[in-house]
Chain A
Amino acid sequence: MDTSLFKYIWRYTKAQQIWILTIILISMVPYFLALDLPKRIVNGPIQGQGFEGEGATQPFLPVAFDVPSWISSSGTITLFEGFHLGQLPYLVCLCATFLAFVCINGLFKYYINTFKGRLGERMLRRLRYQLLDRILRFPSSYFRRIKAPEAATMIKDEVEPLGGFIGDMLVQPVFLGGQAITAMVFIMVQDVWLGTIAGSIVLAQAFLIPRLRRQLLVLGKRRQLTARALAGRVGEIVDGINNVHTNDTSNWERADLASRLGTIFAIRYELFQRKFFIKFLNNFLAQLTPFMFYLVGGYLAITGNLDIGQLVAVIAAYKDLPGPVSELIAYDQQRLDVQIKYSQVIEQFQPENMMEPELQAPPVGPVPAITQGYAASRVGVVDDAGTKLLESATFKLAPGEQVAAVGTVNSGAETMADVLARLTAPTSGSVNLEGENLEDLHESFTGRRTAYVGPDIYLPQTSFRDALFYGLKHQPVRERPAELSDPKERAWEVAEAALAGNTDLDIKAEWLDFETLGTEDPNAADEVARQILDVVDLRQDVFDLGLRGQVDPEKDPELAEKFLEARKALRQRLEDPALSKLVELFEPKSYSLQASVGENLLFGTASGPTFERDKLVGNAYMRSVLNGCGLDQAFFDMGTKIAATATELFKDLPPEHPFFERLSFMTSEEIPEYEAALARAASQTVEDAAPSDQEMFMRLPFDYVEPQHRFGLLDDEMKNKLLEARTAFREGLPGEHSEAIAFYDPEVYNPAASLQDNILLGRVTYGVAEGAEKVRQVIHEVLDELELRDEVFQVGLNFNVGNGGKRLNVSQRQKLSLARALIKKPDILIVNRALTALDSRTQKKIIERVLERSNGQNGSDPFGIFWVLQAPRFAEEFQRVLVFDKGALAEDDTPANLLKQDGHYKALVSSA
């Protein structure tokens, strides 16, 4: 990329810059014509100049040119005499012309501004795209140096001011310079002496200001770097928040942030000071000129060397000079500023050994399969610090071969896997794939025909399905679906992308590589997903995610309807007396003992913070409902009873006793507070109690569940009152809260509740041995009977995996990344200590299943494996074992042969 911003912009916007300059020049014509009009309106028709006689007329819109007398004796050539109009029509016509000019000038301005804005934004888009494109081509070693938030801040914030500058880059200096020169020349013509004075002060400005500003630019640079470093630190803290907590280093981090903010403040403060000093100096110099004019000009006028009219004209002309000059200075300031920003960003985006763009361009035609395999010859890797990670490894890897790589941690096996996956470049020797150097191969070949699963997994925040199929989205396979296809919109997107040098590949097109997947039907694709997830032992997890997942009945009414049927089927089954005692179903007309008092009042799922469990007592609407149903006193009494029992039970226990975990109502610290409040409440009704006491006691009943706590506080009268309050709550719910809760209704799917809660719409009864397990079983039976397992699985595939996949646990993430590699159907699968979070039994099971697949069992295509194993004893299942020791390839044979020797392999296996 060009190091000079000017060159960079000029390269891409030459034509537009010239075009806009031309347009502006043209726009000057109506502008100056309009300037002259008011004078003519006032002097002509209003004051009556030229209309002195009765019936006098003036020509309107004559077209005539003044020409030298040798062309025409009259001195003018008249092409059109104009319309001869009387005083009033002339006024109307002139005013109409004035209005027309206003419109024309406005439209010019509108066009120019939008054109400049669009030019700037396009250029910004191009720059950002180029930066992002470079990130995609950086060598992987470069990412050890660059922090993600810093890169983000560079691309997003630091280049932003360029947008505003690009449109003005050429126009501004031409214009302001033109205006300044015109004013200068005019002054010069009036009086050389005064002109010299004005000129020398402008020169002084031009000399002094940039020098003063030099420091400003240095500060600007520092400000940019410190702000960027701050973004990097914030990113580090967010990513490493667990380390902050587990090491009690929050104050260290605070101090670090405070010191950085302090530095930024100091830089900015100094910037301000200098900036305003320069402004002051600039203004002073600008005002110095009139002072000299008055003094010198006055002297000249008094001594009679200058006539007063000239002096006034000079002073009037000078009015027009400081504006453009100071704007020019400001422009130059901005130019330097964005130049610095630009070069500071560009610097970070010029690493060596970037991948050639051609190696990533979408290939035409099918990608060939691997037929010869890898050949590594004397491969060595030395890291930045000079440590030898791998030394002189030579071996071949035939397609279809199942190879295990074993060794202690950092024995070189991991590095070898990274080299084969092209993630680490060898520092000596070479790796060939299909007889070609790995680094020269097109990424579509290595990225599709091989698959890599490493120890570090990063999942973007998408659905489980998208995460699973990620490795199949290489390039669009089909135009975007018809319902998304607006040809006009698409044409616009393509044209705009081209104008900004962006790729025109369509993100809304179909990207899924159906050919590799083996099917185009979404249901069949889910079936493929199921098979793969079986291999990695993840199918049940997805099913459970589905049960915990949500279905939006508006988006997917059929699916919601199916699960409503499941609810009905479950309810039928639960009529069996042996099962009915397991579950208490939610019925609008009856109190649900197994649910808390608060849940009974809400009788729905809160879908937002308004009606969260902890906030119910503080919720004004809830309180008004309780009050309206005459439940205030009852709640208060119930609260005091709960508090009395709880304090009695727990008062003798030391505060750190684990029993306090069972007491959901209050913490150990609150017990003395409650004891004091109980003493006060003994003689009080709810009205007498202080609001804080009211809150303390009325909070408690919301969490009360009779069969769990067994304080015996709910009689039939109370239940009936609570049911009344439930109805009142629902019926009187203000419109503003209508989105905050989804009420339970046996006939309606509840969008806020999970799938499982929707099917059950009730609670598992407390105190029935193995109750939850039995209910789970019945739900599964119902799902089987209605053949809804696939649907639940689908809902599970829609599960949002969260930021970095963190809503999945580590072993699920590891399994998912292996599944993602398998679904690509690679010719060679490279696995690098990727199942560390799994117990060894599961690891073994998964390895066996992957080996089966690799043999082509169960109709899958056979493929080769290079697997860096966590536990060396799993290697016996593989055809061949590479043993790495201290960075060198120490042994290479079948596991059986290796076991016969007294070598590293035998030692590794027997020590494990």
Chain B
Amino acid sequence: MSSLSEEVDMLRRVPLFAQIEPSKLKLLAFTSERLAFDENQDVFRQGDEGDAAYVIMQGSADVVVNTPKGETVVAVLSDNAFIGEIAILCDVPRTATIRAKSDLQTLKIKKEDFLGLVKEFPDMAIEVMRELAARLGKTTAELSQVRQQLSAKGS
């Protein structure tokens, strides 16, 4: 049977939480819920309202996007992946469907719990900002790379 300390270990391996004090992570783990999904069960669906984020504890999941041609798997996530955080940080509908690829163990962090913790511990807010900024930097770099490739093709 899993216990809180196991989950704290897990959380620490999530980049977003890596720098956060273990005691805060323990509180986050305590307020979260362990949730298991069967193979092919949807964790959430594209277009749904986002009420929680999930950390994958065990197993892997497909990121599925609806396209005019039907569903397309755009990525596969596995251990320590943090999913659905965009929808809980800014109120947008889910941008993709997450579907369990195998039996999936997750830790469900509710939106108000996550925001509550961030509000209470500014250190954590800074960590989240730092992580998101890093991601933004990475995405921007990727975007400019794509643009260059496009303009190279176009010319």
Interface stretch of the complex, out of B10-18, B31-39, B88-96, B135-143: B31-39
**Contact yes or no, B4 A707, CB < 8 A:** no
Query: Does B149 lie at the interface of the complex (its beta carbon under 8 Å from any beta carbon of A)?
Result: no
**Contact yes or no, A710 B43, CB < 8 A:** no
Which of B1, B2, B35, B113 contacts A659 (CB under 8 A)?
A: B113
CB-CB under 8 A from B31, the residues of chain A are 659, 662
Query: Does A445 lie at the interface of the complex (its beta carbon under 8 Å from any beta carbon of B)?
Result: no
Residue of A nearest to B4 (CB): A710
Inter-chain CA distance A766–B35, complex, in Å, is 8
From 118 to 150 in chain B, residues with beta carbon under 8 angstroms from any chain A beta carbon are 120
Inter-chain CA distance A714–B3, complex, in Å, is 11
Q: Which of A714, A767, A768, A770 has the most CB of B within 10 A?
A: A767
User: Chain B's nearest CB lies how many Å from the CB of A257?
Assistant: 43
Chain A, residues 709-737, CB within 8 Å of chain B (1/0): the string is 11110100000000000000000000000
**Contact yes or no, B116 A707, CB < 8 A:** no
Interface stretch of the complex, out of B22-30, B64-72, B74-82: B22-30
Which of A659, A767, A768 contacts B27 (CB under 8 A)?
A: A659
Inter-chain CA distance A711–B34, complex, in Å, is 13
User: Chain B's nearest CB lies how many Å from the CB of A714?
Assistant: 8
Query: Does A650 lie at the interface of the complex (its beta carbon under 8 Å from any beta carbon of B)?
Result: yes
Query: Does B9 lie at the interface of the complex (its beta carbon under 8 Å from any beta carbon of A)?
Result: no
Query: Does A658 lie at the interface of the complex (its beta carbon under 8 Å from any beta carbon of B)?
Result: yes
**Contact yes or no, B112 A769, CB < 8 A:** no
Which of A648, A710, A766 contacts B23 (CB under 8 A)?
A: A648
**CB contact under 8 A between A710 and B26, given known A653-B120, A657-B116:** no
Query: Does B19 lie at the interface of the complex (its beta carbon under 8 Å from any beta carbon of A)?
Result: no
CB-CB under 8 A from B41, the residues of chain A are 769-770
**Contact yes or no, A657 B120, CB < 8 A:** yes
**Contact yes or no, B27 A712, CB < 8 A:** no
**Contact yes or no, B36 A650, CB < 8 A:** no
B residues touching A (Cβ–Cβ < 8 Å)? Answer: 1-5, 7, 23, 26-27, 29-31, 33-38, 41, 43, 112-113, 116, 120
CB-CB under 8 A from A653, the residues of chain B are 27, 120
CB-CB under 8 A from B33, the residues of chain A are 766-767
Inter-chain CA distance A768–B26, complex, in Å, is 21
CB-CB under 8 A from A770, the residues of chain B are 41
Inter-chain CA distance A649–B121, complex, in Å, is 13
From 578 to 606 in chain A, residues with beta carbon under 8 angstroms from any chain B beta carbon are 578, 593
CB-CB under 8 A from B113, the residues of chain A are 659
Inter-chain CA distance A711–B120, complex, in Å, is 23
Q: Which of A652, A653, A710, A770 has the most CB of B within 10 A?
A: A710
A residues touching B (Cβ–Cβ < 8 Å)? Answer: 578, 593, 645, 648-650, 652-654, 657-659, 662, 706-707, 709-712, 714, 766-770
User: Chain A's nearest CB lies how many Å from the CB of B3?
Assistant: 3
**Contact yes or no, B3 A712, CB < 8 A:** yes
18 additional contacts, CB 8 Å, given A645-B4, A649-B27, A710-B34?
A578-B38, A648-B23, A648-B26, A649-B26, A650-B27, A653-B120, A657-B120, A659-B113, A659-B116, A707-B34, A709-B30, A710-B2, A710-B30, A712-B1, A714-B1, A767-B33, A768-B35, A770-B41
CB-CB under 8 A from B112, the residues of chain A are 658
**Contact yes or no, A649 B34, CB < 8 A:** no
**Contact yes or no, B36 A769, CB < 8 A:** yes
User: Chain A's nearest CB lies how many Å from the CB of B102?
Assistant: 14
**Contact yes or no, B116 A769, CB < 8 A:** no
Which of B3, B23, B37 contacts A711 (CB under 8 A)?
A: B3
**Contact yes or no, B34 A767, CB < 8 A:** yes
Which of B1, B2, B5, B30 contacts A649 (CB under 8 A)?
A: B30
Q: Which of A593, A650, A769, A770 has the most CB of B within 10 A?
A: A769
Q: Which of A578, A706, A712 has the most CB of B within 10 A?
A: A712
CB-CB under 8 A from A768, the residues of chain B are 35-36
CB-CB under 8 A from A657, the residues of chain B are 116, 120
Inter-chain CA distance A654–B38, complex, in Å, is 39
**Contact yes or no, A769 B23, CB < 8 A:** no
Inter-chain CA distance A652–B121, complex, in Å, is 10
For this complex, 17 residue pairs linking A to B, each with C-beta atoms less than 8 Å apart, are A648-B23, A648-B26, A649-B27, A652-B23, A653-B27, A653-B120, A659-B31, A659-B113, A662-B31, A706-B1, A710-B7, A710-B34, A711-B3, A711-B4, A712-B4, A767-B33, A769-B43
**CB contact under 8 A between A710 and B3, given known A649-B27, A659-B27:** yes
**CB contact under 8 A between A649 and B23, given known A710-B2, A768-B35:** yes
Inter-chain CA distance A769–B43, complex, in Å, is 8
Inter-chain CA distance A653–B117, complex, in Å, is 9
Inter-chain CA distance A6–B39, complex, in Å, is 88
Which of B5, B26, B35, B120 contacts A767 (CB under 8 A)?
A: B35
User: Chain B's nearest CB lies how many Å from the CB of A768?
Assistant: 5
Inter-chain CA distance A709–B37, complex, in Å, is 20
**Contact yes or no, A766 B3, CB < 8 A:** no
CB-CB under 8 A from A654, the residues of chain B are 120
